[in-house]
């Protein structure tokens, strides 16, 4: 699926796909919409047919099932008041402004990951560089579409800033005044190219997953002006709309030198770490972030472990590959070593550290491992919040006995 499918997905009872993994667009959007989804079946669109009744179930573990006919099921109601208090903060992963208020009753400690790129794809829809360089755009069809989309704006870049800030505001409002960590755009080039007017500004890459993405874009002449619009949207969100609870996070930052370049560009665009209470975090999703954790901690207020990419790059497994899905394991001992090592290094440096990857959402028991390592916060998809919260509480209750042992 892609963003064009979202209006249909909102009306669906469940989602079944032939392709994709747990971190695919279909999986992420389904979680936020509260939909049951089974992805990467290989042949569902050939086996299933129109007017056939099936039951889609994700209640039986890691593997989803599609049953013929209508299954009987039971509904368990949860009393929020019975949820235990925990020292470790349990936060939410959110991306879709349209679905954000579905979850406002959940007693979360904030939003640990708000994905900016989902707001761009589903609400802005136009490549920011196509707005910055509209006058030199060669694609006449794209120009016509941009004209229609931005008809109410004299300044086309203002359309991007206004639409993005309003979309992010809907997420920031859900848990206000608790913290909302907004990750700056982390598109891959093939995804950016799909935005209106995007093909003129994106290179063709053999492996976009480890290509021109994240921090490397922000100071590059190819995208620097686009990143400036993102910064202006964050400025408006914090300074004009009053969402001081917003924390900025930099994704896929490969080196300390790159961190310095990005922070410098942010200052040029009015976002200075520490000014007016602004905190800046960095994603920990590359082995270099673990190895040089102390150096990164001197430049950022905190880390957020992205277990999806950290697992991919530690094990050398394409996270979107159905063929290798069995090898992609966030609980592999090598990945757990990476996570425990960076948590220890962050504490030693006095930096905050949380995890916003998929692992605790898929495996609530993984939260026990994270609590044992001393993590400050765990951010999960809304559907797994209650299970993770209970696992965290149980793990914290067991800590004295474990230490004594």
25 as an active site residue: the answer is yes
Instruction: Give the residues across from 304 on adjacent strands.
Output: 283, 354
Question: What are the φ/ψ torsions at residue 76 (nearest 5 degrees)?
Answer: -100, 125
Distance CA 257, CA 248 (A): 19
Per annotation, catalytic residue among 25, 127, 363, 391: 25
- Quick one: which of 250, 343, 345 has its CA closest to 300? 250
Q: How far apart are CA 165 and CA 173, in angstroms?
A: 12
Residue 121 DSSP class: I
Q: Are 229 and 269 in contact (CB under 8 A)?
A: no
Under DSSP, is residue 328 helix (H, G, I), strand (E, B) or coil?
Answer: coil
d(CA 119, CA 116): 5
Q: How far is 351 from 164, CA to CA, in rounded Å?
A: 29
H-run or E-run covering 352: strand 352-355
**Tokens at residue 332, please?**
């592999």
Closest CA to 208 of 225, 194, 224, 229: 194
Distance CA 300, CA 310 (A): 19
Q: Which of 231, 253, 284, 356 is catalytic?
A: 356
- Could you write out the DSSP letters of every residue in 243-301? -TTEEEEE-----HHHHHHHHHHHHHTT--TTGGG--EEEEE-SHHHHHTHHHHHTT-S
Helix, coil or strand: residue 39: coil
The 10 Å Cβ neighbour count of residue 208 is 18
CA–CA dist 105, 23 (Å, integer): 25
356 is catalytic: yes
Give the other-Cβ count within 10 Å of 28's Cβ: 21
Within 8 A by CB and 6+ apart from 281, the residues are: 181, 247, 248, 249, 250, 300, 301, 302, 303, 304, 352
Give catalytic residues, as residue numbers.
25, 356
């Amino acid at each position: 699926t892609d963003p064009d499918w979202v209006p249909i997905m909102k009306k669906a009872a469940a989602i079944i796909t032939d392709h994709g993994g747990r971190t695919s667009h279909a999986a992420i959007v389904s979680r936020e919409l509260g939909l049951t989804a089974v992805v990467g079946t290989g042949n569902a669109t050939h086996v299933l047919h129109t007017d056939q009744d099936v039951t889609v179930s994700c209640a039986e573990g890691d593997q989803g099932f599609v049953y013929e006919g209508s299954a009987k099921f039971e509904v368990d109601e949860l009393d929020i008041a019975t949820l235990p208090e925990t020292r470790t903060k349990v936060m939410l992963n959110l991306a879709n402004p349209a679905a954000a208020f579905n979850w406002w009753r959940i007693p979360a400690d904030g939003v640990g990951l708000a994905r900016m790129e989902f707001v761009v794809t589903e609400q802005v829809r136009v490549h920011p560089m196509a707005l910055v360089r509209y006058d030199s755009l060669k694609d006449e069809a794209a120009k016509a579409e941009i004209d229609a989309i931005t008809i109410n704006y004299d300044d086309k870049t203002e359309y991007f800033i206004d639409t993005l800030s309003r979309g992010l505001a809907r997420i920031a409002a859900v848990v206000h005044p608790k913290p909302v960590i907004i990750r700056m755009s982390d598109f891959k080039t093939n995804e950016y190219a799909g935005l209106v007017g995007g093909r003129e500004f994106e290179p063709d890459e053999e492996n976009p997953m480890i290509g021109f993405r994240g921090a490397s874009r922000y100071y590059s002449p190819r995208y620097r002006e686009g990143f400036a619009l993102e910064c202006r949207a964050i400025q408006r969100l914090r300074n004009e709309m009053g969402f001081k609870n917003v924390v900025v996070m930099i994704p896929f930052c490969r080196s300390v030198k790159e961190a310095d370049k990005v922070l410098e560009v942010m200052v040029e665009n009015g976002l200075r770490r520490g000014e007016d209470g602004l905190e800046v975090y960095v994603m920990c999703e590359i082995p270099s972030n673990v190895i040089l954790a102390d150096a990164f901690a001197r430049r950022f207020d905190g880390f957020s472990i992205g277990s999806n990419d950290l697992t991919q790059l530690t094990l050398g497994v394409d996270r979107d590959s159905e063929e290798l899905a069995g090898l992609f394991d966030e609980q592999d001992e090598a990945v757990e070593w990476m996570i425990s090592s960076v948590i220890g290094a962050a504490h030693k440096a006095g930096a905050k550290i949380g995890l916003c990857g998929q692992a605790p959402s898929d495996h609530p028991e993984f939260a026990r491992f994270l609590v044992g390592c001393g993590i400050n916060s765990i951010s999960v998809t809304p559907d797994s919040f209650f299970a993770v919260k209970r696992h965290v509480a149980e793990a914290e209750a067991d800590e004295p006995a474990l230490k004594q042992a």
